[in-house]
Structure 1
């Protein structure tokens, strides 16, 4: 999930070809590498790769018309995950985008658990419900094809850990009494991370792999006209609103990146660790981690002696932990009839496309969707997949569309051990809103 330098982004095809000892045309024709995702030799095959994990789902409830999902992998296995769910007790809709790093494990467990914890925290108080089955709490809205499955089967111990932690959280929610939506969201998000820690300290090897990896996430909770945004890290959510002074749509960021580019985040860390010059070094937390808030990554959270015992090492200048938090930055927005759609995406998309460019692209899809009225959504015109294609095509400096397609197909052809240097996993969710009066 590390951001690529601008020079590398502009020259990634030439660099990739040079690293493999071949010309650009040879790179384009090179066969797939073992252990990599499906590889494209033609643009038609490239489209098959781009559409492999896409989905389009009708909702027609709570101001939501439909949503599109798209994904393309760079890492093998992919480290991105996503959530689309109806939270039953509070009758709300959850959309989350998750970007893992240092492995897929933390992102996977977050995908599995976040809907339950949020549904439980936001449910009416008064009784303790059975934790399992989770269908008591939420329904996933995305078909299994588009969900990125873990590379290994879930063990019985993983399920048992979830059941025990979820039961304890359920009881703590009932005891906590009524609370605001913002506080309930914060409680749910931070409790997921706390339970990751407790399970790992309990000695479960699978749980240790979860806390050794990390993830950032951005979530949107839709309840009628109320939209709550919760962000930890550098995934982004952008709103597309009808332009009041002309055609098209205006891009409004609904989240703020928690990176060194955010002066408030840097100040928060420096204030929490006064006099420690190494707290931010080389543009990263303790010189190592790019996001300044994240799930997992307990090598930056536990006390020094625990870090050394669990991992055998510690980051440099590890003096006054914790240095990292998963505490979400929460914002509330009231949807208006001019709010037309929102885009949730991992940083792989925003590396190559600006919010305005993204909103312009999705706006064209939204206009087509309005003309279709109640017709089923068109999988061939998936807005999320279109954004991913445009992002990879944008790395080509040639204005010719065929050249751009060739470049995008060439990127997909890079062997798994090479392509991560030139583009990141990209996962996108586009949510289309309906006018309240309909």
Structure 2
């Protein structure tokens, strides 16, 4: 069942986006509809994403890789499998189930790095942010590592100036946020250089902006960056203890009648659009293709910052395009649960379970990457 998650949608249905932008306009889940869009900027797409649906639950995953695509692809292959197994074993979804699924995925990736790093030492420096949403029994769970973000659009009370309110449901684990920076500094009182301002932003050890992730083994296991094999990628980093963690922040919310939709997106979107701007776009426009509309709005903003047109951005090839914007993944989940039960109708019309994954790489949909041990399930 979960294996259906692991195949890009195009391989199943033959859909193909234009250029570097891929999208799926609209598809049903048990309590509404959802839409996905992805635009690639890096030479290899480092964003991965998926939606699992059944009559009893909906899972959403957005995985924003850094240092390479290996960690985000690995999470895309393994995390939902762990969640499904743990839900079955423990009799339902819970914050503890989600945390254990994150822990299991982190541990598996660590084992992969240990097995392969002598031949591929670079893999010790690969990591990924991880944002997960799960809906079951009208309870929403949002778990995240890093700075991908989940934002709720809810109907405003009568008399308010705006008809819809944006409510952030995740924590940005980015040391550019003063609160996160202080948290990291408090954990390392004996290291005055744990967070430094480098290349225009705050970074842990002058290297990385996010403080939580899957992977980034060389910043969690000091023995890796002490090894001479790793020094070909840079000078050793003196670590007394891990400077990053895979401990997710988890928020739990009972869905309410005024909750209209959720936006799950990598930070490529939030670099260009505020929470409020994104929620307004979803509220004011038709459902079909709404994720693509958000991606295009972000690209328009990226073009405007460079005094360019969107059409100019579209002509720039992957790799070079990373200088203008990041990979961007957007999943919009509509919440219609307050309009009446839908799961039985969903089961009758669409089968018991379904899983949609965005492409592994927009330009490499039929490549041999599926045979790479990094993202083959074993």
TM-score interval, smaller chain: 0.7 to 0.9
The residue number in structure 1 matching 2:180 is 265
Q: 1:107 maps to what in 2?
A: 72
SS in 2 for 1:353: coil
**Residue 318 and residue 204 in structure 1: after superposition, are their counterparts in 2 closer, same or farther (change >3 A)?**
closer
In structure 1, the residue matched to 2:348 is: none
Choose between structure 1 and 2: higher strand proportion. Answer: 2
Give ranges in structure 1 of 5+ residues lacking alignment. 1-46, 126-177, 370-377, 399-403
- 1:244 is aligned to 2:153: no
Among 246, 249, 265, the alignment partner of 1:329 is 249
SS in 2 for 1:394: helix
Q: How many residues align?
A: 317
* Residue aligned with 2:167, SS: strand
Partner of 2:362: none
CA contact (8 A) 2:265 2:330 kept: yes
Q: Which segments of 5 or more consecutive residues in structure 2 lack a partner in the other structure?
A: 1-16, 341-378
TM-score w.r.t. structure 2 length?
A: 0.77
* SS of equivalent to 1:414: coil
What CA distance in whole angstroms lies between the structure 1 residues aligned with 2:228 and 2:275?
Answer: 44
Deviations 1:67-104 (A, max 9, x none): 0000111001111000211379xx42110111111111
Partner of 1:302: 221
Q: 2:169 aligns with which of 246, 254, 262?
A: 254
Distance 1:179 1:284 in 2: 38
Show the counterpart of 1:312. 231
CA contact (8 A) 1:105 1:209 kept: no
Give the corresponding residue for 1:49: 19
**Whole-angstrom CA distance in 2 between matches of 1:251 and 1:392:** 21
Distance 1:103 1:236 in 2: 20
Q: Which residue of 1 aligns with 2:7?
A: none
Whether the 8 Å CA contact 2:225–2:231 is kept in 1: the answer is no
Matched, 1:385 2:350: no
Structure 1 residue matching 2:128: 3-state secondary structure: strand
Larger Rg: 1
| Residue 417 of structure 1: how far off its partner (Å) | 3.8
Work out the CA distance in 1 between the residues paired with 2:138 and 2:120. Answer: 38
RMSD: 2.7
Say which SS state the counterpart of residue 22 (structure 2) adopts.
coil
| Higher RCO by CA contacts (8 Å cutoff, separation 6 or greater) | 2
Aligned to 2:104: 191
Distance (Å, rounded) in 2 between the aligned partners of 1:284 and 1:87? 40
Poorly superposed stretches of 4+, deviation over 6 Å: 204-207
- Once residues 120 and 287 of structure 1 are traced to their aligned partners in structure 2, the CA distance between those partners, rounded to angstroms, is 39
Q: CA deviation at 1:396?
A: 4.8
Superposition TM-score, scaled by structure 1 size: 0.67
Out of 269, 281, 290, the residue aligned to residue 349 of structure 1 is 269
